[in-house]
C-alpha cells in the first residue's frame, strides 16, 4: 500500500514564497513559464510518475537487476524499458535544457523540484535520468563544439543515457589516487582501467550509454591535479562496440532496481572534455547538481514515508487517549493519532521535510538566477548561496531524510517493517544518500574548509546578511516573535561558533576535521529556521482560519520548539574541540 | 567479510567491575560458578557461535525462510537444523535453568551476557532459543505442577521450542482489544483465533512447538483484565496434530531467517497458565526477560558492526591527515583512521555500546540477586533496579544500536552498503528491535507512567541514591573529576526534570505522553554516565600505561564530552511540554 500524493500545493506555495514571478519568470528564456504554466508542467509530470513509476517501485525492488556474465549485459526489472520509453517521449528528461539542444528550456528550479516526485515514486528509476542530466550539464559547460553537437541531441532527447565514472576499487573520496589511464590515439584517446560503483553503467533502457570518465594522461602529474575527463560511449559511430564492459553488479541494501556496476575499460576510445589535467572542474559541474539531487532524495523518501505513516495512523486504532475527554465513546480504542508520541514523530518528519523542501526551492531558484540572470551582482550573490548551501542540502537532507523515514516506520510499528508497505524499502533506499556523491563528512569539509574561507568569508557574510534582513523585516510583528526570536538566538550562536572555529583552525587544522560534521548540522538547523521564518512570514497575513496558515504555523511551532534546540548540542560538540576525538590511541579502539 | 570477535575481555571486566565474586557467586546454586569457571563457559559458548552460527548468517539472510502453503510448514535456511541440533546437544539453551528441570543452573547474568554473542553471530537464529527461554520462565513462575512436569524437561533440553503468541491483526500495543477465544473442553480449552507476528511460530528445528497464547475465556470482562494465558502445543500426546496452523510468513526488511508467522488457531487444545483473566501477569514474566534481550540486540549488532567498520578502516587508505606531521611518508594516502570524523563515528558507537553493555551486565546481575538472594532487602533493591532500568535497556539499547550500526556503515562508505560486508544486514536486522516487545514509546510510558510512580517514587529514589553514593565515593579523587562532574550535573538535571514532569503530569496526563520518549532518553544518558563512572573507577588505580585503563579512559572521555550533552537537549524537549506536539489539528498533517 503506497498512498503517495505529490506535494504540489507545497511546491506552489514555496515558489510563491520565494517570489517566482519576480525572480524567475523575468529571466531570459523563462518568460513563457508563468507560475500557472510552470505548475501545469509539474502537475502533468507528477501524475505520470504516480501512474507509471510508482506501481513499478516495489516489484522492481523485489526483482532487482540481472547481470548476464556471458554478454556483459544488465537486464532491468520488468516495466522499466516501457516506462523509460514513455519518460523520454514525454520529454521529461529534457525539461531544463536549452531548446537549441532539443530541451524545453524550462526554469531549472521546476525540474529540480519535480525530481522530488520522480524519486518518491521510484528512486531506482530516477537515477538514470539524474546522471544523464549531470552529463549534459558537464558537456554544455566544458565540452568542445564537436562533442556537444555529436552527443547533446541524443542525451537531451533521452535516446542515450549518461554515467559518472569516477570511483575505482581503491579510491572514492580520494580521487587523487585513481589510476585509469588514457593513451593518445589520433585525435582522441584509449582508456584502460576499472571503475566501480557506476550507477546505470550498463542497462537495457537506451541505445547507447555515454560514460564521463576520470583518467590520467601519460604526462599527468600525480594526485588530483593530474586528472582529466573523457567521454567514452558504449557504441562508437556506425554501431561499433567500444571495449567498455560491465564486469558485474553490486548486491546492495537498497536501490535494487538501479544497477551499480563494475566497469572495465579495455582500451576503450574516449574524447577529452575540457582541458588536460583539469578534469575535476568538469566533474564538479556534474557533481554540484548531483549533490543537490541527493539532498532531494532525503526529502522525497521522507515525504513518501511520512504520507504512508499518516495514512496508516488514520486507520489504526490502538490504546486510549491519555486525556479522557478525547477518548472516542463507543469505540474500543482510539485512533493512534491521539497519542502525543505519534504526533511528535510525524511532526518531526514533517517539519524538517518541509523545511528542507523550502531550502531546496530557494537554492533551486538561485541556481536559475546564477545561470541565467543578466544582472552580474544578482548572479554572484546567487552563486554564493548555491555554493554555500549545496553541501548542507546534500548532507543534512540525506541524514535527516534517513532519520525521518525511520520515524515514519516507528509510527507504523511492525507494519512498517514489512514489505506490505513501502517504508522499509524507503529506509533501505535512502541510506545510500548519506554515502554517495561525496560522503556527508566530505560535504562538511567542503563547507568548512572551502566554502567558509572563500573570498575572506564572503559566502557566510552574504547569508548572514539575508538572515539579518529577514529578522529586521519582521521586527514590528509580534506574531512573528516566537519564530524570529529563536532564529536570532541561533544565528548569533552560529556566528560565534563560526568565528571560534575559524580561529581554532588557524592554530590547528585537525580541529576542522573533528568539528566539521557537527558544524554542518548546526548550520543546517539555522538555515532551516531561516527558511521556516520565510514560510511563516508568507502566510502570517492570511485569515486566522486559513488552512494553509494554520498548517504552516503548527508545523513551524514544532520545528522551533523541538527541532531547532538540536543546534545548541552541535555547537557544544564543535566547542569541545578535537581532544576527545583525536587524542586517542587507535590501537585501543 | 565478518571479522567479529566476541568481546570476552569486556564481559569479564564488567563482571569484575560489578563484583561478580561478591554479589553473584555466593547466591544459592551459583557457588560452583567462580569467575574463571563462568568465563570458561562463556568462552566455549562464544567459540561455538563464531565457528558454527556466524558463517551461516549472511547466507541464511539471503536464502530466507520458505513457507509451504500445502502443508503449513516453514523450512528454515540451510544449516539451521544442524546448528540447532548442536546448540541443543551442547546445552546452550539450558544454561540458566534449574538442574531439576535439566538445566545447568548457571547464573542468569552469564546467559544474558552470552546472548550478545549469539545475537551478534546470527540474530535470526538467536530468536528461537530466546523465546523458548521466555516460555520456560513463564512456566516456572506461573505453570501448574502438571504443566511444568510435562513441558519443562523438553523445553529446557531444547527438544521443543516456545513462542509468544500475543499480537492479532488489529492489536499489538493494545492487547486489551484481542479477540482470540478459549472455550472450556474438559480439563482444558479449545482456542480459536488468529495471531500475527509470531516469531518461529512454525519451523523445522524441533519436534514440537509450544505456543504461549493470550485469549479470552467466555466469561471474560472486556479489555486487558479479561485476558488469560494458555499453552498450546503443535503436537498433543501421542503425536496428534493440534489444529494450530501457520497461514503464511511476513516479508520483512530484515531477520529474513527468522520466520514471522501468521498462526491460525482452529479449535486448538490449550491449557491454562496461571489464574483466569490474569494472563498479563504470566505474559509480563516472559516479556521482561525478552525486553532485556531486545536491548542486547542493539548492543550485539552495534558491536559487530563497529568491529567490521574498524577492520575496514584499518585497511583503507584515502585522503591525507589534516596534520602534516601525521601523514605517512612514501604512501599516496593515509589510513582513514587518521581522519577525526572516522574516529568520531567509531567512538560514538563504541562509547555507547560499551556503556550499554555495562548497564546490561549490572542489571543482569541484579536479575540474579532479585531471583536468588536469601536477603530480602537485597532482593527488593535488585528488583527495583531491574524494573526501572529494563525499559531503558530495551528502548535506548535498540535506538542507539540502530544509530550505531548506521555510524559503522558511514565509516565504511559504499562498502558498508553492500552485501560484501555484514553491516547492511545488521542495519536491517537491528531496526525491528525498536518496534517489537513493546515499541520504544511503550517502554517510555512504562518508565514514566508505571515505574516512576511505583511505591511513591521508590525506584527512582533508590537509583538516585546509587548515583549519589558513587559520586561521594569518588569525591577525593581528582582523576575522577572529569567524569564525576558531568554525572553530577546531569543527574541533578534529571532530578529536576523528573520533579517538573511529575508535577505537570498531575495537572495534565497528556504531558506524560508528549514527554515520555524524550524523558527516557535523558534518563538513559544519565544511566550510561553512571555506568561509565563505575567503569572508570574500576581502572583508575591501574598503572597509567595499562592498556585497559587507557582504552576505557579514552572511550569514557569521548562519552562525557560528546554523547552526554545530548541529555540537555532531551531535558529541553521535556520542558517544552505538550503544546507544540498535542495542540495541533491532525487534519493539517
Above 80 in pLDDT, residue B285?
no
Q: Which residues of A touch B322 (CB under 8 A)?
A: 509-510, 512-513
Size of interface A-B (CB pairs under 8 A): 251
pLDDT at B290: 86
Element housing B67 (H / E): strand B66-68
Residue A9 lies in a domain: no
pLDDT at B175: 87
Cβ-nearest to B589 among A310, A439, A568: A310
What does the DSSP 8-state code read for residue B242?
A: P
The mean pLDDT value for A192-197 works out to 97
* Residues B579, A562: C-beta atoms closer than 8 Å: no
Task: State what percent of residues in chain A have pLDDT above 90.
Answer: 95
* Residues A440, B550: C-beta atoms closer than 8 Å: no
Q: What is the band of A172 on the pLDDT scale with cuts at 50, 70, 90?
A: confident
Nearest to B393, CA basis, from B528, B517, B202, B491: B528
pLDDT at B51: 98
Residue A226 lies in a domain: no
* Residues B551, A170: C-beta atoms closer than 8 Å: no
Cβ-nearest to A318 among B174, B222, B406: B174
Q: What is the band of A287 on the pLDDT scale with cuts at 50, 70, 90?
A: confident
Residue B502 lies in a domain: yes
* Residues B589, A416: C-beta atoms closer than 8 Å: no
The total of structural domains in chain B comes to: 1
Question: What is the tens place of the pLDDT at every residue in B432-483?
Answer: 999 999 999 999 999 999 999 999 999 999 999 999 999 999 999 999 999 9
Q: Which residues of A touch B510 (CB under 8 A)?
A: 321-323, 340
Q: Which residues of A touch B253 (CB under 8 A)?
A: 417-419, 424, 427-428
Cβ-nearest to B253 among A317, A428, A441: A428
Residue B271 lies in a domain: no
Which of A199, A417, A561 to mutate to probe the B interface, most B CBs <10 Å?
A417
Q: What DSSP assignment string belongs to A181-227?
A: EEEEETTEEEEEEEEEEEETSS-SSSSEEEEEEEEB-TTPPSGGGGB
The contacts of residue A159 (CB under 8 Å, 6+ apart) are: A88, A206, A207, A208
From A450's Cα to the closest Cα of chain B, the distance in A is 14
pLDDT at B351: 98
Residue A574 lies in a domain: yes
From B368's Cα to the closest Cα of chain A, the distance in A is 31
Residue of B399, B407, B424, B437 marked active site? B437
Q: Which three cell numbers stand for residue B301?
A: 549488532
Q: Which residues of B touch A579 (CB under 8 A)?
A: 557, 561
Question: What is the tens place of the pLDDT at every residue in A209-266?
Answer: 999 999 999 999 998 899 999 999 999 999 999 999 999 999 999 999 999 999 999 9
Residue in chain A lying closest to B434 (CA): A410
Cα A205 from Cα A78, distance rounded (Å): 11
The mean pLDDT value for A70-82 works out to 98
pLDDT at A285: 73
Q: Which three cell numbers stand for residue A345?
A: 514523530
* Residues A565, B573: C-beta atoms closer than 8 Å: yes
Q: What is the mean pLDDT of chain B?
A: 96
pLDDT at A286: 75
Cα B359 from Cα B1, distance rounded (Å): 30
pLDDT at B404: 98
Q: Which residues of B touch A346 (CB under 8 A)?
A: 589
- Report the SS3 class of residue A244: strand
Would residue B437 show up in a list of annotated catalytic residues for this protein? yes
Helices (H), A373-437: 376-412, 414-417, 423-430
Question: What is the tens place of the pLDDT at every residue in B380-425?
Answer: 999 999 999 999 999 999 999 999 999 999 999 999 999 999 999 9
- Report the SS3 class of residue A73: strand
Nearest to A483, CA basis, from A526, A447, A425, A443: A526
> Which residue range is the domain that position A475 belongs to?
458-578
Residue in chain B lying closest to A338 (CA): B582
What does the DSSP 8-state code read for residue B220?
A: P
Question: What is the tens place of the pLDDT at every residue in B61-91?
Answer: 999 999 999 999 999 999 999 999 999 999 9
Q: Which three cell numbers stand for residue A503?
A: 580561529
Residue in chain B lying closest to A509 (CA): B322
Residue A589 lies in a domain: no
CA distances from A511 to A299, A576, A587, B328, B454 (A): 31, 10, 21, 19, 47
Question: What is the tens place of the pLDDT at every residue in B50-63?
Answer: 999 999 999 999 99
Query: Is there a contact between A404 and A350 (Cβ–Cβ < 8 Å)?
Result: no
Q: What's the N-to-C CA distance of chain A in angstroms?
A: 44
pLDDT at B173: 85
Above 90 in pLDDT, residue B281?
no
Cβ-nearest to A340 among B440, B581, B589: B581
* Residues B318, A435: C-beta atoms closer than 8 Å: no
Q: How many CA atoms lie within 13 A of A583 on its CB side?
A: 12
Task: Compute and round to an integer the Cα radius of gyration of chain B.
Answer: 24
Q: Which residues of B touch A343 (CB under 8 A)?
A: 581-582, 584, 586, 589
Cβ-nearest to A337 among B177, B346, B586: B586
CA distances from B86 to B52, B75, B223 (A): 9, 18, 43
Query: Is there a contact between B155 and B135 (Cβ–Cβ < 8 Å)?
Result: yes
Task: State what percent of residues in chain A have pLDDT above 70.
Answer: 100
Task: Compute and round to an integer the Cα radius of gyration of chain A.
Answer: 24
Residue A559 lies in a domain: yes
* Residues A441, B339: C-beta atoms closer than 8 Å: yes
Cβ-nearest to A436 among B414, B431, B508: B414
Q: Let me know the angle formed at the C-alpha of B399 by B447 and A338, rounded to the nearest 5 degrees.
A: 55
**Most distant pair of Cα atoms in chain B: their distance:** 84
The mean pLDDT value for A151-170 works out to 95
The mean pLDDT value for B226-242 works out to 96
pLDDT at B400: 98
pLDDT at A175: 87
Question: What is the tens place of the pLDDT at every residue in B210-219?
Answer: 999 999 999 9
Give the burial class of B189: count Cβ atoms within 10 A of its Cβ; 0-12 exposed, 13-18 middle, 19 or more buried. buried
Residue of A140, A437, A510, A566 marked active site? A437
The contacts of residue B418 (CB under 8 Å, 6+ apart) are: A250, A251, A252, A253, B424
Q: Find residue B212's DSSP bridge partners.
A: B164, B231
Q: Let me know the angle formed at the C-alpha of B445 by B439 and B450, rounded to the nearest 5 degrees.
A: 130
pLDDT at B565: 98
pLDDT at A284: 77
Cβ-nearest to B431 among A417, A441, A516: A417
Give the burial class of A243: count Cβ atoms within 10 A of its Cβ; 0-12 exposed, 13-18 middle, 19 or more buried. middle
Cα B207 from Cα B153, distance rounded (Å): 14
- Report the SS3 class of residue A1: coil
Above 90 in pLDDT, residue A3?
yes
Above 80 in pLDDT, residue A282?
no
**Phi and psi at residue B278, to the nearest 5°:** -115, 30
Q: Which residues of B touch A436 (CB under 8 A)?
A: 414
The mean pLDDT value for B178-197 works out to 97
Q: What is the mean pLDDT of chain A?
A: 96
CA distances from B265 to B66, B135, B231 (A): 21, 19, 12
Cα B550 from Cα B552, distance rounded (Å): 6
Between β-strands B208-215 and B260-273, what pairing exists: parallel, antiparallel or unpaired?
unpaired
The mean pLDDT value for A321-348 works out to 94
Which of B302, B414, B573 to mutate to probe the A interface, most A CBs <10 Å?
B414
Which of A171, A220, A322 to mutate to probe the B interface, most B CBs <10 Å?
A322
pLDDT at B74: 98
* Residues A550, B585: C-beta atoms closer than 8 Å: yes
Residue B393 lies in a domain: no
Above 80 in pLDDT, residue A350?
yes
pLDDT at B280: 85
pLDDT at B172: 84
Q: What is the band of A453 on the pLDDT scale with cuts at 50, 70, 90?
A: very high
Question: What is the tens place of the pLDDT at every residue in A397-410?
Answer: 999 999 999 999 99
Q: Which residues of B touch A444 (CB under 8 A)?
A: 341
Amino acid at each position: 500500500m503506497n498512498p503517495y500524493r505529490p506535494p504540489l500545493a507545497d511546491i506552489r506555495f514555496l515558489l510563491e514564497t520565494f517570489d517566482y514571478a519576480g525572480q524567475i519568470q523575468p529571466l531570459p528564456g523563462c518568460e513563457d513559464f508563468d507560475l500557472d504554466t510552470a505548475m501545469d508542467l509539474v502537475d502533468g509530470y507528477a501524475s505520470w510518475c504516480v501512474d507509471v513509476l510508482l506501481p513499478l517501485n516495489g516489484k522492481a525492488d523485489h526483482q532487482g537487476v540481472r547481470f548476464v556474465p556471458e554478454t556483459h549485459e544488465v537486464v532491468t526489472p520488468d516495466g522499466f524499458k516501457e516506462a523509460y520509453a514513455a519518460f523520454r517521449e514525454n520529454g521529461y528528461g529534457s525539461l531544463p535544457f536549452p531548446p537549441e539542444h532539443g530541451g524545453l528550456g524550462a526554469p531549472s528550479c521546476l525540474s529540480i523540484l519535480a525530481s522530488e516526485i520522480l524519486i518518491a515514486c521510484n528512486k531506482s528509476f530516477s537515477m538514470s535520468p539524474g546522471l544523464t542530466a549531470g552529463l549534459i550539464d558537464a558537456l554544455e559547460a566544458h565540452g568542445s563544439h564537436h562533442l556537444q553537437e555529436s552527443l547533446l541531441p541524443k542525451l537531451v532527447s533521452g535516446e542515450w543515457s549518461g554515467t559518472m565514472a569516477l570511483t575505482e576499487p581503491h579510491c572514492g573520496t580520494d580521487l587523487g589516487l585513481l589510476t585509469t589511464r588514457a593513451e593518445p590515439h589520433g585525435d582522441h584517446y584509449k582508456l584502460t582501467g576499472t571503475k566501480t560503483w557506476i550507477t546505470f553503467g550498463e542497462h537495457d533502457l537506451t541505445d547507447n550509454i555515454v560514460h564521463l570518465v576520470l583518467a590520467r594522461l601519460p604526462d599527468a602529474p600525480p594526485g588530483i591535479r593530474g586528472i582529466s575527463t573523457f567521454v567514452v560511449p558504449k557504441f562508437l559511430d556506425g554501431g561499433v562496440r567500444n571495449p567498455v564492459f560491465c564486469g558485474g553488479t553490486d548486491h546492495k541494501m537498497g536501490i535494487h532496481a538501479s544497477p551499480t556496476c563494475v566497469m572495465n575499460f579495455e582500451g576503450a576510445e574516449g574524447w577529452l572534455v575540457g582541458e588536460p589535467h583539469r578534469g575535476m572542474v568538469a566533474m564538479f559541474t556534474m557533481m554540484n547538481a548531483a549533490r543537490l539531487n541527493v539532498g532531494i532524495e532525503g526529502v522525497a523518501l521522507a515525504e513518501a514515508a511520512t504520507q504512508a505513516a499518516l495514512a496508516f495512523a488514520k486507520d489504526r486504532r490502538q490504546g486510549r487517549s491519555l486525556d479522557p475527554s478525547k477518548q472516542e465513546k463507543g469505540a474500543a480504542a482510539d485512533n493512534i493519532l491521539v497519542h502525543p508520541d505519534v504526533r511528535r514523530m510525524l511532526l518531526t518528519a514533517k517539519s524538517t521535510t518541509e523545511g528542507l523542501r523550502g531550502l531546496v526551492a530557494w537554492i533551486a531558484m538561485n541556481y536559475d538566477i546564477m545561470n541565467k540572470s543578466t544582472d552580474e551582482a544578482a548572479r554572484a550573490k546567487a552563486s554564493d548561496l548555491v555554493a554555500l548551501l549545496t553541501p548542507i542540502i546534500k548532507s543534512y537532507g540525506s541524514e535527516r531524510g534517513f532519520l525521518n523515514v525511520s520515524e515514519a516506520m516507528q509510527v507504523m510499528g511492525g507494519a512498517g517493517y514489512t514489505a506490505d508497505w513501502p517504508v522499509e524499502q524507503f529506509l533501505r533506499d535512502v541510506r545510500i544518500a548519506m554515502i554517495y556523491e561525496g560522503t556527508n563528512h566530505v560535504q562538511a569539509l567542503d563547507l568548512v574548509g572551502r566554502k567558509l574561507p572563500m573570498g575572506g568569508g564572503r559566502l557566510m557574510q552574504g547569508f548572514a546578511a539575508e538572515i539579518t534582513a529577514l529578522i529586521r523585516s519582521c521586527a514590528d510583528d509580534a506574531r512573528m516573535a516566537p519564530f524570529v526570536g529563536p532564529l536570532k538566538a541561533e544565528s548569533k550562536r552560529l556566528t560565534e561558533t563560526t568565528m571560534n572555529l575559524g580561529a581554532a583552525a588557524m592554530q590547528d587544522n585537525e580541529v576542522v576535521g573533528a568539528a566539521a560534521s557537527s558544524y554542518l548540522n548546526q548550520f543546517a538547523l539555522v538555515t532551516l529556521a531561516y527558511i521556516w521564518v520565510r514560510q511563516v512570514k508568507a502566510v502570517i497575513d492570511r485569515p486566522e482560519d486559513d488552512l494553509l496558515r494554520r498548517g504552516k504555523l503548527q508545523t513551524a511551532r514544532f520545528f522551533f520548539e523541538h527541532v531547532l534546540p538540536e543546534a545548541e548540542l552541535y555547537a557544544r560538540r564543535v566547542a569541545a574541540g578535537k581532544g576527545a576525538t583525536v587524542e586517542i590511541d587507535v590501537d585501543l579502539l
